[in-house]
Amino acid sequence: MGDVENWVMPYQGFNYLADTVSVTAAHQFEKLLACGIDADIFARQVDPAFFIGIAIHAGIHSGISAEGNINMLQSLRMHRPVFLDEELVVKGKILGVAEVSRGLRVDTDVWFEDAKGQRVISAPRTSLRPDPQPAERGGESGKGAGERPLPVIEDLTVLQCLHNYQLTPEGVRAYSMEGNSIHYEIEPARKAGFRAPLIGGGMGVHFLMAELWQAQKHSGGPEAFDAEIYFRRPIFWDDAVGVYTRVDDKSGWNAMALLKEDSQGDQKVATEISLKLFKPGLI
């Protein structure tokens, strides 16, 4: 479906083509190295953040262009750990499409099944498909992408810093996959209204997953989790970001965030995760 003439305009009820996918050890090592993450943290398991990008590419394979699209809200549910080289079947369906001032807001359910037909990863998301001429839709001068979810973390002073990362254009290019050039080319990013290419949402989630697995290293990593991920601000390919967590005295971690400095030097939430369910490993 590489020819732009064959792209399908998203519509409610559109079903993805089922496809078999897997994450190899070599691929995980290469992409996490580009992020500055030690792949050994995950041992034989797959970093579930990979399934965010794989889900997007499942849409591309089915004829839905990702060019210029912006991921706004991502759910990521790991029903059980996925292992390197394990073959899974990816399936998906567009649940709804709504016109907003900036284009189309698209709700998609994508999931991954194992050889027994059981879901092991669910990755539904809400994304914005920008209108090239958004002002023509009316509304607030082409601004707005629909209802904005309430913040997960309101008080940044309660957060604990776990790790800091300095992004580089070379690293972001090495991580990024074809399909959405705002992540690896300057002109498309500027045309979309950004000062520079911005990382894909999945790349930022790798930083959060690495700390989650590192904290659970003694138990072999999480057994299962259910997370709601909110992409609040773009992270550019030359930004510095910090991984932070919020700890509840009774339940442990219940939220995580990537923070970055704004133009005034104040820390702002770029990406945040609400951990609705977290099941530690058993070993």
Tokens of 239: 């930004």
Check pLDDT > 70 for residue 140.
no
29, part of any domain: yes
For the ranges 20-24, 176-180, 239-243, which has the lowest average pLDDT? 176-180
Within a domain: 181? yes
Q: How many domains does the chain have?
A: 1
Judged against a pLDDT cut of 70, whether residue 25 lies above it is answered with yes
Q: Is 119 part of any domain?
A: yes
**pLDDT tens profile 54-100:** 999 999 999 999 888 888 899 999 999 999 999 999 999 999 999 99
Is 160 inside a domain boundary?
yes
- Give the pLDDT of residue 201: 87
C-beta neighbour count of 105 within 10 angstroms? 22
Residue entry with tokens 């398991």: 45
Lowest mean pLDDT among 3-17, 28-42, 242-256: 242-256
Q: Is residue 192 within 8 Å of residue 198, measured between CB atoms? A: no
From 85, 76, 66, 88, select the one nearest 26 (Cα to Cα): 85
Contacts of 61 (CB under 8 A, 6+ apart): 1, 16, 17, 19
Q: Is residue 73 left, alpha or beta, with left meaning phi > 0 and alpha meaning psi from -120 to 50?
A: beta
Name which residue leads in pLDDT, 5 or 56. Answer: 56
- Asked if residue 259 is part of any domain, the answer here is yes
d(CA 231, CA 236): 13
As a whole-number percent, the residues of the chain with pLDDT over 70 amount to: 90
- pTM (two decimals): 0.89
Band the pLDDT of 282: cuts 50, 70, 90: low
Strands (E), the chain: 19-21, 70-78, 88-100, 103-113, 119-122, 125-130, 160-166, 224-231, 240-248, 252-261, 267-279
Distance CA 258, CA 273 (A): 9
For residue 209, tell me if it sits in a domain.
yes
Domain span including residue 221? 4-144+154-279
What's the whole-number average pLDDT of the chain?
89
| Residue 149 falls inside a structural domain | no
- DSSP string of 21-55? E---HHHHHHHHHHHT--GGGGTTB--TTHHHHHH
Looking at residue 135, what is its pLDDT?
47
**What whole-number distance in Å separates Cα of residue 268 and Cα of residue 273?**
14
CATH of the domain at 25: 3.10.129.10
Would residue 58 count as lying in a domain? yes
Question: How far is CA 7 from each of CA 2, 3, 62, 64, 145, rounded to the nearest angstrom?
Answer: 8, 7, 9, 6, 22
